[in-house]
């Protein structure tokens, strides 16, 4: 298609002018040497040029859908109504919830590490105080009250010198930390504003794997990014991320900067707080269930910190071997390996070796689950504890105390002597009497023995075997001999301030 203006071909002695200039006029201005043939050719060329510019027969550069007023049909005419409904639902969630999602930027000052010189006590005399650097970071959060309380992750605002919050209307506010809880990685910050749009909290206890999950946040500084996936799993624990873990796993994309933002259901209700990702994987993100977070919110807003319930026991997992030795049908619950003297559990009659199987009617899956249930139950709450002891199921009642009042673990000294014969027994151990009479001390652990394979170590104090006390090497030897060359042994060991059960199978 020709356009207005001139186009010149460099190096040609004849200049052809097209477009807005009429070719006939050009020829009339030329010398008379040109014949009538030239003039007729010019007229034909002019007609072709004008018809080309008229657009009547022009081929379109692109096709436009008739859904937008064009002439082309959409490639897919019959889109299933359920897909359209789902698409509409996601759009509605974004429109309704995005105003309550905020972007959080922080500035913190961190010490510059000088590993080779800083340890020297004369370092500051020669070089002055250690240098610091200013670190900037981004995170997300969501508003839970019209007067400016905002939920985020504790690691987003921890040690921050300044915090700024940007709302969906691009207004920016300075914020202050109301309180934070490192054990759950939850924090509350506050801005001075009014009539703010607030998020609606849902019920994370009703979640099931396969349900839709929608994340909104600030990944890599990209304001209010929305990603969609499903709830991949619930109740993820023992991840090594926080002290109290009960994560929702999702494949909705969560990236750096999403931390503290909401995880939503299709109703736009907050079901979790986006917290962590598996850096080595894709589509594996974790969120704190909102029902676990609600009590933390309340305490942080009221007093700036969190107090939790306390039973007064130390516990360990129930392995398959321990379950068999205790007569349990399943390897579930929390095995009590020590009872703190004077604590709620001690007063209620719970003993070392009991397996706690339920708290207030809720089945205990493992030690971390029991810790979470006790913490969430609250201080001063009456709790009904179901235990398994000597093949029987028993129930005890106790009142949970504050974890802040828990006595410090008593310090113990490891006392060692020498083994009288120096020859390892059936377990691959050399033991000796302890001066305290508490049990027998493991002096040596033979490599490749059943005790070594189970994880026992030199210095462990064997308190009991199959729930029978072993105050001396004589009693220990008698029990080992009576067990024969085959069978299962449940050994209670004191290691430092901790008590640990081991299940050993003699070969």
Cα within 13 Å of Cα(89), Cβ side: 16
Which one of 185, 338, 354, 460 is the catalytic residue? 185
- The answer to whether 185 is a known catalytic residue is yes
Strand partners, 331: none
Instruction: Report the Cα–Cα distance between both ends of the chain, in Å, rounded.
Output: 92
d(CA 454, CA 366): 20
d(CA 145, CA 164): 18
d(CA 175, CA 393): 52
Alpha-carbon distance values, 445 to 428, 441, 456, 468, 497 (Å): 6, 11, 8, 22, 20
Which one of 140, 155, 181, 237 is the catalytic residue? 155
With b meaning 16 or more CB within 10 Å and e meaning fewer, what string describes 259-274?
Answer: bbbbbbbeebbbbbbb
Which one of 100, 105, 253, 259 is the catalytic residue? 259
- The answer to whether 259 is a known catalytic residue is yes
Instruction: Give the DSSP letter string of 397-421.
Output: EEE-EEGGGPPPPPP--------SS
Do residues 317 and 367 make contact, with C-beta atoms less than 8 angstroms apart? yes
Which residues contact residue 64 at a Cβ distance below 8 angstroms, ignoring those fewer than 6 apart?
70, 71, 72
Cα within 13 Å of Cα(444), Cβ side: 13
With b meaning 16 or more CB within 10 Å and e meaning fewer, what string describes 221-234?
Answer: eebbbbbbbbbbeb
Strand partners, 314: 338
Instruction: Give the DSSP letter string of 193-243.
Output: -SS-----B--GGG--TTSEEEEEE-GGG-TTEEEEEEEEEEEE---SS-S
**Mind telling me the catalytic residues?**
155, 185, 259
């Amino acid at each position: 298609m020709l356009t207005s203006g001139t186009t010149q071909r460099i190096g040609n002695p004849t200049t052809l002018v097209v477009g807005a200039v009429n070719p006939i006029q050009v020829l009339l201005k030329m010398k008379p040497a040109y014949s009538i043939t030239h003039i007729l050719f010019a007229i034909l060329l002019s007609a072709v040029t004008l018809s080309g510019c008229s657009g009547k027969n022009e081929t379109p550069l692109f096709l436009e859908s008739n859904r937008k007023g064009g002439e082309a049909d959409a490639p897919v005419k019959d889109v299933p109504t359920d897909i359209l409904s789902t698409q509409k639902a996601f759009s509605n969630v974004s429109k309704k919830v995005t105003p309550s999602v905020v972007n959080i930027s922080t500035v913190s000052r961190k010490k510059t590490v000088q590993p080779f010189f800083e340890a020297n006590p004369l370092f500051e005399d020669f070089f002055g105080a250690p240098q610091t650097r200013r670190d900037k970071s981004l995170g997300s959060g969501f508003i839970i009250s019209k007067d400016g309380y905002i939920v985020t992750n504790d690691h987003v605002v921890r040690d921050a010198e300044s915090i700024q919050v940007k709302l969906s209307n691009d207004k920016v506010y300075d914020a202050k930390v109301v309180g934070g809880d490192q054990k759950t990685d939850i924090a509350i910050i506050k801005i001075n504003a009014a009539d703010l749009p607030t998020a609606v909290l849902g019920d994370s206890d009703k979640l099931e794997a396969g349900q839709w999950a929608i994340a909104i946040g600030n990944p890599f500084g990209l304001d209010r990014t929305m990603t969609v996936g499903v709830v991949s799993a619930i109740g993820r624990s023992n991840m090594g991320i926080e002290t109290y873990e009960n994560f929702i796993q999702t494949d909705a994309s969560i990236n750096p900067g999403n931390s503290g933002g909401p995880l939503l259901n299709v109703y736009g209700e907050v079901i979790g707080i986006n917290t962590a990702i598996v850096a080595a994987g894709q589509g594996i993100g974790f969120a704190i269930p909102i029902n676990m977070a609600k009590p933390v919110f309340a305490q942080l807003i009221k007093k700036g910190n969190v107090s939790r319930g306390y039973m007064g026991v130390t516990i360990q997992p129930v392995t398959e071997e321990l379950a068999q030795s205790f007569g349990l049908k399943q390897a579930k619950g929390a095995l009590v390996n020590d009872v703190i003297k004077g604590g709620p559990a001690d007063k209620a009659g719970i003993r070392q070796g009991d397996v706690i199987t339920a708290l207030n009617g809720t089945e205990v899956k493992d030690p971390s689950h029991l810790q979470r249930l006790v913490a969430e139950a609250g201080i001063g709450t009456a709790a009904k504890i179901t235990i398994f002891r000597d093949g029987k199921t028993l129930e005890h009642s106790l009142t949970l105390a504050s974890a802040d009042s828990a006595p410090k673990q008593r310090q113990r000294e490891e006392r060692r002597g020498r083994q009288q014969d120096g020859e390892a027994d059936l377990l691959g151990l050399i033991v000796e009497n302890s001066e305290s009479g508490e049990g027998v001390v493991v002096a040596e652990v033979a490599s490749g023995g059943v005790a070594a394979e189970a994880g026992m170590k030199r210095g462990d104090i064997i308190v009991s075997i199959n729930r029978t006390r072993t105050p001396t090497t004589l009693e220990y030897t008698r029990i080992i001999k009576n067990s024969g060359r085959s069978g299962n042994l449940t050994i209670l060991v004191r290691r430092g301030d901790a008590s640990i059960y081991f299940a050993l199978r003699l070969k």
